Amino acid sequence: MLIKSLAAVFLAAILTENYVLSKFLGICPFLGVSKKLNTAVGMSVAVTFVMVISTAVTFPIYTYLLVPHDLGYLQTIVFILIIAGLVQLVEVVLKRYIPSLYKSLGVYLPLITTNCAILGVTMLVLQKVDSTTLYNYTYIHAIVNSLGAGIGFLVAMVMFAGVRQKMENCDIPKSLKGLPITLVAASLTALSFLGFSGFVDKLIPLS
Amino acid sequence: MNKKSYFHEFTKGIIKENPVLCLVLGTCPTLAVTTSASNAIGMGIAATLVLVCSNAVISMLRKVIPDKVRIPAYITIIAGFVTIVQMLVKAFSPSINDALGIYLPLIVVNCIILGRAEMYASKNKVIPSILDGLGMGIGFTAALLCMGIIRELFGCGTIFGISIMPVKILIFILPPGGFFVFGMLIALANKLNSKKGKKAADSPCSGCPMKSSCSKSESNAATDCATNGTSDKLNAGTADNESKSKGAIKC
């Protein structure tokens, strides 16, 4: 049952609740860094990395520190500071111990602090703890959910980078050039993800 | 500063430098909460409140905050005001609170607010900063309202809940509709701007406060020359890079 529910959470985070294309979180990097495939992949891996780590840290802090002391309203300010600190810490640690990883991800890390997908994931995960009645939503679910969210971001970025490369040589009306046509393409990509709605519930029935 | 330039600080954000349609900042809330006109207004007012207050405080503290840690300091100030606004909305308008959901606390990472703090409030006196925040906030609200009305009209056939059209095109309420309407509005803004001979908004990055480190990362990854020197510079905070290329991003 645990594995089944974890798989459902993971797939739902990638396909049906894709953070970019259905929740509109992390649109800035989605539109800004998706021109080339390698930068798109680098950015998404860095985002996934930070998402998982920050959920792993903020979840226990919220449940065991803020809630018991009636400080739930400090969530926003505490989380953004934790994320900002964590990004710095990850940067220092990577640089010191895993320089090869730092070389490929390091350049993206400073940008991630103000990426709304990270703060969004850490908060949405906690909302799910309150609202999910179907199964016991635990710490592991939260981690798997944020991993799925990161992978979903990666999938959307890679798909979209492909779409944009195809668009490079197209003849586009003058006022649609640049950002507008990119947004229309994003709209079509989002439309394709609508096709997944209900998919996970059918695939892995939980009840 | 005379009255005329005060007036200019206030009005520039509404049309000429509209944060959403011309500078393309704050895209996430623009796309997410504009499923109805009333949500759009709620979001706009909440963001305006935060923007005015944070601009005022940051402008007051601009000589106190050391340059190196200014981005974290701004984020803390903004997060404080967001928490206040969140509590106010929860107390006085629970329905808006439910409709905005996660996007209300996410005002913290809205690039309009950090962008104005960085580009305007940190360099100007308190009163112009407040007027700048107010103008930008109204411009943001107007753009959101515009999108909200279009999406609600086509998607539900209503405006502010009043039934107007019998036809409903559900897709306008769904995420793809958000991207599409936003793309079309920017295309319209580009068309109007090009008539006046102004440069069109071509990327979401031109007004973003993190732009310099972002473009740096892009060129770094492309040429794969993330040497220690450049990474160190990035490490020292995006602050330095930003101030260096400020001339380039000025918009």
Give dist(CA A120, CA B22) in Å, integer. 26
Q: State yes or no: pLDDT of B141 exceeds 50.
A: yes
Chain A contact for B238 (CB, 8 A cutoff): yes
The answer to whether residues A83 and A54 touch, using CB atoms and an 8 Å cutoff, is: yes
Where residue B88 falls among pLDDT bands split at 50, 70, 90?
very high
Q: Which of A140-144, B202-206, B242-246 has the lowest mean pLDDT?
A: B242-246
**Listed residue (A54, A2, A22, A56) closest to A153, CA to CA:** A22
Least confidently predicted of A17-31, A88-102, A122-136: A122-136
For A23-33, what is the mean pLDDT?
A: 82
Tell me which residue of B135, B115, B143, B116 sits closest to B5, measured CA to CA.
B135
Residue B231 amino acid letter: S
Q: Could you say which of A35, A175, A183 has the minimum Cβ distance to residue B179?
A: A183
Amino acid at B38: S
Residues B20-32 have a mean pLDDT of 81
Residue B42: left (phi > 0), alpha (psi -120 to 50), or beta?
alpha
pLDDT at site A96: 87
- What ipTM goes with this model? 0.84
What is the pLDDT averaged over residues A32-50?
Answer: 84
Residue B155: other Cβ atoms inside 10 A: 20
B84 pLDDT tier (thresholds 50, 70, 90): very high
Q: Which of A16-30, A100-114, B162-176 has the lowest mean pLDDT?
A: A100-114
Q: By the 8 A CB rule, do B46 and B144 touch?
A: no
pLDDT band for B26, please (50, 70, 90 cuts).
confident
pLDDT at residue A206, as a whole number: 61
What pLDDT is attached to residue B215? 54
Average pLDDT over residues B134-148: 91
B-chain residues near A127 (CB < 8 A): 102
Residue-averaged pLDDT of chain B: 77
Q: Which of B32, B80, B216 is the closest to A107 by Cβ?
A: B216
Mean pLDDT, residues B28-56: 90
B241: pLDDT strictly greater than 60: no
Token pair, residue A144, equals 């798997």
- DSSP three-state, residue A58: helix
A176 at B interface, C-beta within 8 A: yes
Average pLDDT over residues A39-66: 88
- Tell me whether residues A187 and B183 touch, CB distance under 8 A: yes
Between the CA atoms of A160, A161, A166 and A167, what dihedral angle is there, to the nearest 10 degrees? 70
CB A86 within 8 A of CB B81: no
Rounded average pLDDT over A142-152: 92
Q: Are A6 and A206 in contact (CB under 8 A)?
A: no
Q: Could you tell me the two tokens for B190?
A: 């580009």
Q: Determine the pLDDT at residue B230.
A: 38
**Whether the predicted pLDDT of A109 surpasses 80:** no
**Span B73-98, mean pLDDT?**
90
Query: Is A124 within 8 Å of B102 when comparing Cβ atoms?
Result: yes
Q: Which of A18, A19, A27, A160 to mutate to test the interface with B (most CBs of B within 10 A)?
A: A27
Least confident of A180-184, B68-72, B227-231: B227-231
B205 against B13, higher pLDDT: B13
CA distance A28 to B204: 7
Q: Spell out the residues 6+ positions from residue A2 whose beta carbon is closer than 8 angstroms to its own.
A: A140
Q: Which segments of chain A does DSSP mark as H helices, in order? A: 2-11, 27-32, 37-61, 75-97, 99-105, 109-112, 116-131, 139-167, 179-194, 199-203
B43-63 per-position pLDDT tens digit: 999 999 999 999 999 999 988
Closest of A58, A27, A84, A115 to residue B71, by C-alpha: A84
> Angle of helix B211-223 relative to helix B228-235, nearest 10 degrees?
160
B105 in A contact zone (CB under 8 Å)? yes
On the question of pLDDT at B227 being above 60, the answer is: no
Tell me phi and psi for residue A83, to 5 degrees. Answer: -65, -45
pTM: 0.81
- A:B CB pairs within 8 Å: 189
What residue spans define the domains of chain B?
A: 3-195, 211-249
Residue range B68-75: mean pLDDT, rounded:
84
CB contact under 8 A, A127 and B102: yes
Q: Does the structure show a pLDDT above 90 at B162?
A: no
CA–CA separation, A64 and A57 (whole Å): 11
Residue B3 corresponds to which tokens in the numbers above?
Answer: 């009255």
Q: Name the one residue in this structure whose structure tokens are 């503290």.
A: B61
Residues in chain A: 207
The Cα–Cα gap between A63 and A78 comes to: 13
Boundaries of every domain in chain A: 2-197
Q: Look at residue B222 and tell me whether its pLDDT is greater than 50.
A: no
- A contacts of B72 (beta carbons < 8 Å): 81, 84
> Is B241 or B217 the better-scoring residue by pLDDT?
B217
Q: What is the pLDDT of residue B231?
A: 37
pLDDT higher for B225 or B11?
A: B11
Mean pLDDT of B197-224: 54
Residue B201: pLDDT over 60: no
- Cα–Cα separations (whole angstroms), residue B241 to B66, B67, B117, B211, B248: 16, 12, 16, 9, 11
DSSP string, B154-179: HHHSEETTEE--S---GGGTSHHHHH
- Contact yes or no for B206/B249 (Cβ under 8 A): yes
Checking if the pLDDT of B23 tops 80, the result is no
B132, amino acid identity: D
